[in-house]
Amino acid sequence: MSAAASSSQSRPAGLVMSSRNATVQGNNRGNNGAAGGSNKKMVIRPFKVQPKLPENFEDATWEVLRQAVVAVQSKTAVAISYEELYRAVENLCVHKMGARLYDRLRMECARHVAAVVGTLASGGVEGFMDPALFLAKVDDVWQDHCEHMLTIRNIFLYMDRSFVMQTSALQPIWDMGLTLFRLELAAQGRGLQRPGAAGGVQAAAAGAGEGGVAGNTGLDIKIVKGMLRVMERQRNGEAVNLALLRSLVRMLGSLGLYKPLFLRAFLEDTERYFAVEGTKKMESLDVVAFLLHVERRLGEAEESVVHYLEPGTRKALITAVESRLLAPHVTALIDKGLTPLMDAQRVEDVRRLYQLACRKPGGAEELKAAFNAYIRRRGGELVGDDAREKEMIEDLLAFKDKCDVILSEALGGRSNPACLAAMKDGFEFALNVRPSRPAELLAKFLDAKLKGEKGVSEGEMEGLLDRIMVLFRYVGSKDVFEAFYKKDLAKRLLLGRSASADLERSMVAKLKAECGATFTNKFEGMFKDMDLSRELMGNYAQFLGTTAAGEKAGGREGGREGGREVETSVHVLTTGYWPAYPSSDVVVPPVLEPHMARFSAYYTGKYQGRRLVWQHSLGTCVIKARFPLGTKELSVSFFQAIVLLCFNDGESPRVAFTDIKAATRIEDGELRRTLQSLACGKINQRVLQKEPKGKDVEDNDVFSLNAGFTHKLYRIKINTIQLKETVEENDKTHAEVHRDRQYQIDAAIVRIMKARKKLSHNLLLSELFGQLKFSVVPVDVKRRVESLIERDYLCRDDINPSVYNYGSRKLRILSAYSETCKSDDKEG
């Protein structure tokens, strides 16, 4: 054991045995092979003199280690094995020499770092060297430093994991190397104290944290400047070494310089660059090209984070690009770009504008306001264009479809309630630029569509009705729509012009769902009358079939005229549901009078107390006419029928206009239009001839049957001359609407005042606007209030004339007098 302790170089003092006795027991058998040999005890005694280390043990061991460190740093072969070097470090640390060993190692590393970093100071971005070459040299030095420090750390691993970890004031060897490299970069060019001692390290660290890029010339600043210049080249479209940038960014991150030194300078340079570029590009590019450029720049920023920047830089970098390249120009882009892009329906570009505008704080609100203003402006132009009134609804539907596509595909659709509300407000404003006209034209447009179009299926019509209902929701004057729709619906039902009864009922159902049962009460009443009329005519036909009178009535209901049956259909209408029609006191042909009388007797007998008024202007007939070239059936109006029956007398082939007028007593204008349809219409529909020829019917004209009339069809429909709705008729309809509105205003005022008893004029207006479904002007309200005061529904307050009280003044005086009498009675 003493021999093992004599080698101080391989096991110095660390293997000296303890001074305590050591005892070893064992069973030893004698040579004689005795069965029960005796037990012996071996005792190991301590050294009498404690072994000592050689006087130069620490220095000699360090010299060996230093030479190994220098060899590593100079990239030469290390003479001693790494295991022996590791053991040497272990021996020094075991003998409490770790502190001096750490200081010596740090000084040796600092010397080398100063030397290699010093080689970088001879050139740089401010010198003759190209920044890319300078950065490549920096990266080479950094890679060598990292490789050296990893090897050195492996050699001194025992010290790093024992002594250094137990000493909180010391940095691990790897961190020490990073600190030395960082401080040397800061010291080079600044004249700072080298990190040769602890105080020097503190001074260099303080110097590295002061100032900015502009005011320092240290190598760390030069590196950052070089990186910024290379990145600017990349932004300008030049090819750069992204791997080099990525390596340098990691270097700065490892040295703790990324955020305090690089990131601030990088963001400032980015903002400066894109502020200048944004101004130039706005002057040279159109809106779409600028938006594409911004998208490309944002994509490049994202890629730079992926390729070489730290991930945490992304948000700050994107914000810098947005705040300088995009945000200052969003308002101008919206003002210049939204209208032409919307007009051209460039959905992709509108989406691009919207997405980029949302990147600016408040940009989404700006675009929403511009979207609303666009709809107001364009929609108002469509509504206000008198020259295109016939196409107004078609244009509005097409415009609404375009806005729907833009909203759903470019502005987020239903997930963007702000733009939804903006579109709704815009269309409400546009469709009420002219309060009543859009409602009237919408009703007429529906009338034309519900009469039917060739090649349009019911499914397509349902879709069209849904689109029309969207416009209807924006119309304020729904009562105007109701008046015109009711008039047109009545004509379609009575004259059989509806393309589909299902579509008619579907439209009424949609109106009911939108406006309530009160709005569609009259429409539903019309359908009910038509259904009851069909049922009534079925019962009437049975009645005729069971009576002898019906069998004898030739050519009448259930009877015969000239051996041929005549079918009759009567629509019984409820006065309150249908529009008011002017009565016409025409001369009914004798052949029809018995049938009308028979039906009247049947109806009044079945429903006692009811009175029938015949509306001849809505009647239609089918007449069989025998012409020299063949027999035809003519589908004509009631007025056309009684005019044609005037030519049924073969003795008078020519009949003057005045004679026809006297015989039929049809109103003059209606008679002229009727004769025009029979004698001046299409060539294949002229069953009469007029002398002299001409398009207008004069008092001296004479008419006769057209002996040469022929047609390829057996039944021919003779169209009537439709009198275009005159201004007077429109005014009449609007006057009816205005009258109905007055009643509604009166009723609303009375309801409000009955509930509130006393109210100022302004508060009354406020509540009235909330209750009425149509727009009303204060002047109309004032007139209705005056009317109600005159009729003793309201009275003005005695003290404040702008305040109204419910009830008449007389009633209020009587009420006050009654209360006084009651009070006197109680006191008595």
Q: Does the pLDDT of residue 214 top 50, yes or no?
A: no
How confident is the model over 726-771, as pLDDT tens digits?
A: 555 666 677 777 777 788 888 888 888 888 888 888 888 888 877 7
* CA separation for the pair 251, 143 (Å, rounded): 9
Place of tokens 């021999």: 3
pLDDT number for residue 743: 80
pLDDT: is 821 or 265 the higher one? 265
Q: Does the pLDDT of residue 197 top 80, yes or no?
A: no
pLDDT number for residue 406: 95
* CA separation for the pair 340, 447 (Å, rounded): 35
Mean pLDDT of 383-394: 91
pLDDT number for residue 192: 52
Mean pLDDT of 574-600: 85
Percent with pLDDT over 70 in the chain: 83
Would you say 357 and 366 are in contact if contact means Cβ atoms under 8 Å apart? yes
Q: What average pLDDT does the structure give for the chain?
A: 83
Strand ranges for 162-290 from DSSP E:
none
How confident is the model over 325-372, as pLDDT tens digits?
A: 999 999 999 999 999 999 999 999 999 999 999 999 999 999 999 999
pTM of the model: 0.75
Which among 699, 651, 652, 653 is positioned nearest to 675, based on CA atoms?
699
Could you write out the three-class secondary structure of 79-119?
Answer: CCCHHHHHHHHHHHHHCCCHHHHHHHHHHHHHHHHHHHHHH
Judged by DSSP in three states, 689 sits in strand
pLDDT number for residue 414: 87
Judged by DSSP in three states, 620 sits in strand
* CA separation for the pair 565, 243 (Å, rounded): 101
How confident is the model over 651-687, as pLDDT tens digits?
A: 557 888 888 888 888 888 888 888 888 888 888 888 8
Judged by DSSP in three states, 628 sits in coil
Mean pLDDT of 630-658: 83
Q: Does the pLDDT of residue 588 top 70, yes or no?
A: yes
pLDDT number for residue 727: 58
* CA separation for the pair 709, 688 (Å, rounded): 9
| Phi/psi at 750 (5° precision) | -65, -40
Mean pLDDT of 76-86: 92
Angle between helices 131-155 and 173-187 (to 10 degrees): 150
Which among 609, 604, 634 is positioned nearest to 705, based on CA atoms?
634
**496, 497, 502, 508 alpha-carbon torsion, rounded to 10°:** -100
Place of tokens 């049924």: 648
